[in-house]
Amino acid sequence: MLAADDKATCSISTDSPVISGTLSWLLCAFFTLSYVGSLYLARAGRLAFHAPPVDVPNGQERVRLANEKWRNDPQVIKARLKAVAVSTLGSCAVVVCVVSKFGSGCRTDDRSSFSEALSVLGLSLPSVNLNLWSILRPHLLAPVLYVGPLYIMLLDTTLPFQRDWDFKRDVVEKFTSWQGLRNYSIAPATEELVFRSCIISMMKLSGATTKQMVFAGPLWFGVAHAHHAWELYNIYGRTKSALQRAVLTCAFQLTYTTLFGWFTTFIFLRTGSVYPAITSHTFCNIMGLPDPGYGARMFPRQAAVIYALHVVGMVAFGFALGPWTK
């Protein structure tokens, strides 16, 4: 996606190790700890829970006390967004320093260290030699996978410009709120820059194989969500059952974030660009996890079509994954 010639993509596709595996591992750990740790550095971004243990119905949160700070409080979100932005810039700066010192294994005479680092990070702009379809198709893989949920939205008349869709509510208010900025803008961009651009590029520069990067690299992304267990334990009531639910929820998060990481790592390596990973991340955050059972309950007459389209989406996604990232 970056360019049609090898010269523009060689810094992300070289198999010649330029840093050691130990250094790569340490840098990956640093990027992860820096991102997660930044959430708790500023006092305004730290969560506060004061409620005593309380039993709550399964699947529900307890009542929030007035003197508590939860992750969706605007002041918490603002502090954390600033923190992860600084952390992400710092991680990218480290990659620039590594490339400046060690190179990427294929430096050319007409390429500066900074432009070479941008290529390694997947931040270079698409080549002018590419047509519009070649540029757009990696960004469309996630919508193909979600053809089933999109059909449910069509039946529910909540797709853009349908009867129950409202521009002010579903675009302006949703995307400009603090939660919207976090979920659909800042978090997808910073997480992909750190856990794809920085971590995967360092693994690549250490000579890691494609399988190692695709299947092992995203584990850092999954592990980075483990800190949510403490928050869930508190909002579920700080009981034994709350602990069990928190652990199960985090295990589920580890599973689907790792699966999603396989996908975004694959398209990052195939296209040499982080932009399709960011747009896919944003789209999936907007849509949430597919739930064909919900659609079937809401529209029982179309249940068979709903289930079928979920399968069609997965099959079409599998067929398109290779050709659309070529």
Cα gap 305→311, rounded to integer Å: 10
| 69 beta partners | 48
Q: Is the pLDDT of residue 185 over 90?
A: yes
The stretch 143-165 carries a mean pLDDT of 97
Classify residue 323 by its DSSP letter.
G
Burial class of 249 by CB neighbour count within 10 A (0 to 12, 13 to 18, 19+)? middle
For 41, other C-beta atoms within 10 Å of its C-beta total 14
pLDDT of residue 10: 45
- Measuring CA to CA, which residue among 92, 100, 97 is closest to residue 121? 92
Distance CA 119, CA 188 (A): 20
48 DSSP β-pair partners: 69
- Residue 155 C-alpha from the chain's centroid: 28
pLDDT of amino acid 290: 94
The SS3 of residue 235 is helix
Residue type, 242: A
From the list 121, 108, 141, 142, the residue with the least C-alpha distance to 2 is: 121
% of the chain beyond a pLDDT of 90: 82
As given in the structure block, the two tokens for residue 145 are 């996978």
pTM: 0.91
Is pLDDT of 6 > 50? no
Q: For residue 8, what pLDDT band results from cuts at 50, 70 and 90?
A: very low
**Per-residue pLDDT tens over the stretch 239-286:** 999 999 999 999 999 999 999 999 999 999 999 999 999 999 999 999
- Report d(CA 182, CA 193) in Å as an integer: 15
According to the model, what pLDDT value does residue 111 have?
Answer: 60
Q: Among 52-56, 186-190, 308-312, 321-325, whose mean pLDDT is lowest?
A: 52-56
- Residue 308 scores a pLDDT above 60: yes
Q: Looking at residue 5, what is its pLDDT?
A: 38
Domain positions in the chain: 21-322
Answer for the pair 104, 14: CB distance below 8 angstroms, yes or no: yes
Q: What is the pLDDT of residues 68-87, one digit of tens each?
A: 999 999 999 999 999 999 99
